[in-house]
Structure 1
Amino acid sequence: MPHALVVDDDIDSAASLRDLIAGERLTVAVAHTLRDARRQISLQQPDILLLDLRLPDGNGMDLLADPDLVANSEVVLCTGHASIETSVQALRLGAADYLIKPINLKQLQGVLSRIMKPAALRAEVEVLTARLDSSGHFGHLWGKSAPMQRIYEQISRVAGTSVTVFITGESGTGKEVVAQTVHDLSRRRKQPFLAVNCGAISPNLIESEIFGHEKGSFTGAERQHQGFFERASGGTLFLDEITEMPLDLQVKLLRVLETGRFMRVGSTVSQEADVRVIAATNRDPRQLVATGKMREDLLYRLNVFPLDLPPLRDRLADVPLLANHFLQGICEQEGAVRRFSQAALDKLATYSWPGNVRELRNAVQRAYVMAQGDVIDDRWLPEASNGPSFAPAVAPASVTAAAVAAPAGDSITLPIGTSMAQAERLLTLATLRHYNHHKERTAAVLGISLKTLYNRLKEYAAAEGGNA
């Protein structure tokens, strides 16, 4: 039977928490000071340690600072003074989660259902790391280059905690795969992993899809609908392209992250959100804050643990490994074994891959289809090409951004003072023209999803009366 230790100087609060834990079929001990807690731990190592921050003889963090004392215990902070700074500090010292007082039964049950010794999590990571050279992958991620090993190290550190992760990187770099790997190495692995592309949902439906709605709450709401937060309960909710979320909904998401509660559309009753949120974007969030497309307070709340993925061009040494991995999957699916020639692998490793891993996977699929024998040569692989460059230039202040036109060549020049929104529009349209209005290629080069490109073109057309 798992054993829990409650460390809290409030006698009533400690007794209440002890009774709740005992009702979940755990043995429980209580300590009211750090000194008493150390004594209890020496008598019986707890599987889970529920730790108050403010104690008569010190701060609860002092126990975390002694790794030998709590190395085999899952530590959960119980505090009425939680903050981003507290959670980051607790993460660095090895805490797995924190509960905000007053603690309710559902919150506690969620934590207790995920008890897993830190040593077990560390052992899993050590096995994955030890096998990296021979297997070529870490969880769902493939690659052995230095940039990827840095990513693996960060994933190893954050996966066992409950903090919010904010993944940035160009389109096609594998942000969802990173989120899935974090989930699979976390204590929530037995519960759902739900991936949502915020840019692919109609603005009119996104609130209902995320939070759910009650029957009759709007026209067409013929039955109650569970949103993503409910469907991912106990697990991980991955919000991709978070910067495409409307501003009014960003406010509501921020409140959920801060309070752990949400309401369905049309309801007046709030619900508990026992979900770990991982967010991602392929755009620079700070630029979006500057242009008013993202709330600054939401960025700070999401960016507790930032994780920036490298583009494939910065880890070309991984291309042959990735290509062979994709090819193996295609061969198993299609039932015919094929392999790359050395010339094909060399060509793959010298291409810049503006569409990153997603473009590589598509290129392998096409090369497999076009190959006439068992060997895939370099005939149908992508050729190196120079896309349009983006070069701001010093120009007189009297030249306005509206007066700048993007030339039909391989570059565009913008004056100092051009707004980010106007620069984005000009670069998007110039890139689209450069690739002869091939939208998939344009989106890949710009590092955005195809859905996002369509949304932007629709905005530009509306702004110019349908002539964009």
Structure 2
Amino acid sequence: MAHALIVEDDEDSARMMAALVAREGHSVMCANSLAAARRLMVMQRPDLLLLDLHLPDGDGFALLDEKNEALSDTVLVLMTGQASLETSIRAMRLGAADYLVKPINPQHLKGLLSRLIAPSQLRAEFDEVEELWRETGRFGPLIGRSQEMQRVYRQISRVARTAVTVFIHGESGTGKELVARAVHDMSRRRDQPFLAVNCGALSPSLIESEIFGHERGSFTGAERQHQGFFERAHGGTLFLDEVTEMPLELQVKLLRVLETGTFMRVGSTQVQQTDVRVIAATNRDAAAAVANGRMREDLLYRLNVFPIALPPLRERGDDIGLIASDFLQEVARQEGGGTKHLSRGAHARLAAWRWPGNVRELRNVLQRAWVMASGSEIDEEWLPAASAQGTADAPVRTPQAAYGDAVFAMPPAAAPELGRDGAPVPPAPGGQQLVIEIGTQLADAERQLILATYERCGGHKERTAALLGISMKTLYNRLKEYRQ
């Protein structure tokens, strides 16, 4: 049982919250001013402090600026009339676990009470995670000891204790979803759902229904009511990957959810409440997406409360060998047949490659090398060669083309590669270069790359997706878009 202190000058609101806290089995006291709150904290240290920001004798933040020792192990929750960006940032700096928007929603408060974890317990858990990282190089689902990743770990440790929105930036394949999962697993929402949705992989005609849900009969084929991601993730975390791919008309509705915690299903006029922490991610330049009209500026400001920039694999130094060893152990567990290790030459080959597909590409390369290696040692025969990446004086070559030459090219005497249906994969025709002028719009460069790779693979979608490091669903959506 925890002890709660409610600092609220509205007597009706304070009485309602006190009754709910008591029903959940906690003791509770109320104060209608800063002065009253100080007296009650001296009498008994609160485990939970529900603090209004606007009080008769001052700003609620004043109680926190005093660095009161009585609050060192108290879960702080701020109450405000509007969840503004400024309030979110200040709450995070003061170590607030969450904030409630007035009028207080009883379900939100009940959910908050269900995930009470003392700050001291969180600190102890983070110490254990750090100790494990020092021993194994693993930080939750992430692997690495480089300075760049240590910065990311510090950011995760800091933001996981709060409820602010996180915006993850990084190239494709750097592990943005793993970072989102780490934030969730180390937060107070860890026992609630974690749902991930790739905004770029959903059909534009269905994305609103998938995210917000729909009512029966709201459109052709809607034969039953459907709960969207915001409803299914209630109390937990919703990870929106490739958020810059979301249609502009839907970005307006996402902004409303972030600001008010409310939404409506497609075909409904009833407002739904949601208690979800949003973590967004993009592999694009978000500022450029705003400039190009692909993302709303106000949404970017609302998402970018706590940015985390993930470094590409080529900038992580010795992390490549550490990750490779872990992947090979994972493949051995999945496939059986004993463990395999990299030769010294293989390690050098991996270190020399630029890894345009980042960690995802490394995993694919090692899976193929593990299959092709006949003994317990994996040498450089089946690994990409640095020479395939070209020189500074050579025409600009896409990383995918060089990767295809180095990794997917079969020796002359080898059997043809087979697809899932058992039929031979069409051989890649000539034309190993794609020249893109400097200053080309990113969306147009992506279009040229996808179509050129698709043509080079003879229209074989599975191989095209593998070369590009994207899902089959994303490839289908892109090809459909380009042929309109």
TM-score if structure 1 supplies the norm length?
Answer: 0.88
Q: CA, structure 1 residues 166+112, in 2 after alignment: closer, same or farther (shift >3 Å)?
A: same
**Other structure's SS at 1:98 match:** strand
> Residue 460 of structure 1 corresponds to which residue in structure 2?
482
Q: Is it true that 1:372 corresponds to 2:368 in the alignment? A: no
The 5 A counterparts of 1:27-176 are: 27-65=27-65, 66=67, 68-176=69-177
> Residue 403 of structure 1 corresponds to which residue in structure 2?
none
**Other structure's SS at 2:239 match:** strand
Q: How much has 1:313 moved relative to structure 2?
A: 0.5
- Could you tell me whether the CA contact under 8 Å between 1:435 and 1:442 is conserved in 2? no
Tell me, in whole angstroms, the C-alpha distance in 1 between the residues paired with 2:171 and 2:276: 26
Tell me whether 252-261 or 65-74 shows the greater mean CA deviation: 65-74
Tell me whether 159-168 or 5-14 shows the greater mean CA deviation: 5-14
> Residue 356 of structure 1 corresponds to which residue in structure 2?
358
Tell me, in whole angstroms, the C-alpha distance in 1 between the residues paired with 2:235 and 2:334: 33
Cα deviation 1:392-438 (Å, max 9, x = unaligned)? xxxxxxxxxxxxxxx98564334x7x656555545666777899986
- Could you tell me whether the CA contact under 8 Å between 2:2 and 2:27 is conserved in 1? yes
Tell me, in whole angstroms, the C-alpha distance in 2 between the residues paired with 1:258 and 1:146: 35
Cα deviation 1:270-294 (Å, max 9, x = unaligned)? 1111111111111111111111111
Q: CA, structure 1 residues 70+449, in 2 after alignment: closer, same or farther (shift >3 Å)?
A: farther
Q: CA, structure 1 residues 197+329, in 2 after alignment: closer, same or farther (shift >3 Å)?
A: same
Q: How much has 1:117 moved relative to structure 2?
A: 0.6
Tell me, in whole angstroms, the C-alpha distance in 1 between the residues paired with 2:442 and 2:345: 42
Q: Is it true that 1:230 corresponds to 2:255 in the alignment? A: no
Q: How much has 1:104 moved relative to structure 2?
A: 2.1
Cα deviation 1:120-151 (Å, max 9, x = unaligned)? 11111122123322111111100000000000
Cα deviation 1:378-398 (Å, max 9, x = unaligned)? 2111122327649xxxxxxxx
Q: Is it true that 1:312 corresponds to 2:334 in the alignment? A: no
- Could you tell me whether the CA contact under 8 Å between 1:285 and 1:294 is conserved in 2? yes
Q: How much has 1:372 moved relative to structure 2?
A: 0.5
- Could you tell me whether the CA contact under 8 Å between 1:143 and 1:318 is conserved in 2? yes
**Other structure's SS at 1:349 match:** helix
Tell me, in whole angstroms, the C-alpha distance in 2 between the residues paired with 1:364 and 1:422: 31
Q: Is it true that 1:277 corresponds to 2:248 in the alignment? A: no
**Other structure's SS at 1:250 match:** helix
Residues paired across the two proteins, number? 442
**Other structure's SS at 1:86 match:** helix
Query: Counterpart amino acid of 2:464?
Result: K
Tell me, in whole angstroms, the C-alpha distance in 2 between the residues paired with 1:367 and 1:426: 30
**Other structure's SS at 1:382 match:** coil
> Residue 14 of structure 2 corresponds to which residue in structure 1?
14
Tell me whether 11-20 or 184-193 shows the greater mean CA deviation: 11-20
- Could you tell me whether the CA contact under 8 Å between 2:5 and 2:30 is conserved in 1? yes
Cα deviation 1:212-237 (Å, max 9, x = unaligned)? 11112111111111111111111111
Tell me whether 312-321 or 434-443 shows the greater mean CA deviation: 434-443
- Could you tell me whether the CA contact under 8 Å between 2:201 and 2:477 is conserved in 1? no
- Could you tell me whether the CA contact under 8 Å between 2:168 and 2:307 is conserved in 1? yes
Q: How much has 1:154 moved relative to structure 2?
A: 0.4
**Other structure's SS at 2:325 match:** helix
- Could you tell me whether the CA contact under 8 Å between 1:171 and 1:449 is conserved in 2? no
> Residue 190 of structure 1 corresponds to which residue in structure 2?
191
Tell me whether 8-17 or 179-188 shows the greater mean CA deviation: 8-17
Q: How much has 1:343 moved relative to structure 2?
A: 2.1
Q: CA, structure 1 residues 67+411, in 2 after alignment: closer, same or farther (shift >3 Å)?
A: farther
Cα deviation 1:283-326 (Å, max 9, x = unaligned)? 11111111111111111111111111110011031001100111
Query: Counterpart amino acid of 2:5?
Result: L
Q: CA, structure 1 residues 326+60, in 2 after alignment: closer, same or farther (shift >3 Å)?
A: same
Task: Select 1:344's aligned residue among 338, 343, 346.
Answer: 346
The 5 A counterparts of 1:256-275 are: 256-275=257-276
Q: How much has 1:257 moved relative to structure 2?
A: 1.1
- Could you tell me whether the CA contact under 8 Å between 1:242 and 1:279 is conserved in 2? yes
Percent of paired sites with the same residue: 61
Q: How much has 1:362 moved relative to structure 2?
A: 0.9
Tell me whether 450-459 or 224-233 shows the greater mean CA deviation: 450-459
Tell me, in whole angstroms, the C-alpha distance in 2 between the residues paired with 1:275 and 1:249: 18
> Residue 401 of structure 1 corresponds to which residue in structure 2?
none
Q: CA, structure 1 residues 280+364, in 2 after alignment: closer, same or farther (shift >3 Å)?
A: same
- Could you tell me whether the CA contact under 8 Å between 1:443 and 1:453 is conserved in 2? no
- Could you tell me whether the CA contact under 8 Å between 1:18 and 1:28 is conserved in 2? yes
> Residue 24 of structure 1 corresponds to which residue in structure 2?
24
Tell me, in whole angstroms, the C-alpha distance in 1 between the residues paired with 2:443 and 2:236: 36
> Residue 437 of structure 2 corresponds to which residue in structure 1?
413
Query: Counterpart amino acid of 1:43?
Result: M
Tell me whether 323-332 or 449-458 shows the greater mean CA deviation: 449-458
Q: CA, structure 1 residues 281+420, in 2 after alignment: closer, same or farther (shift >3 Å)?
A: closer
Q: How much has 1:245 moved relative to structure 2?
A: 1.2
Cα deviation 1:189-229 (Å, max 9, x = unaligned)? 00111111111111111111111111121111111111111
Query: Counterpart amino acid of 1:386?
Result: Q
Q: How much has 1:255 moved relative to structure 2?
A: 1.1
> Residue 399 of structure 1 corresponds to which residue in structure 2?
none
RMSD: 2.4
Provide structure 1 residue ranges, at least 5 long, that are not aligned to the other structure.
Answer: 391-406, 463-468
- Could you tell me whether the CA contact under 8 Å between 2:262 and 2:272 is conserved in 1? yes
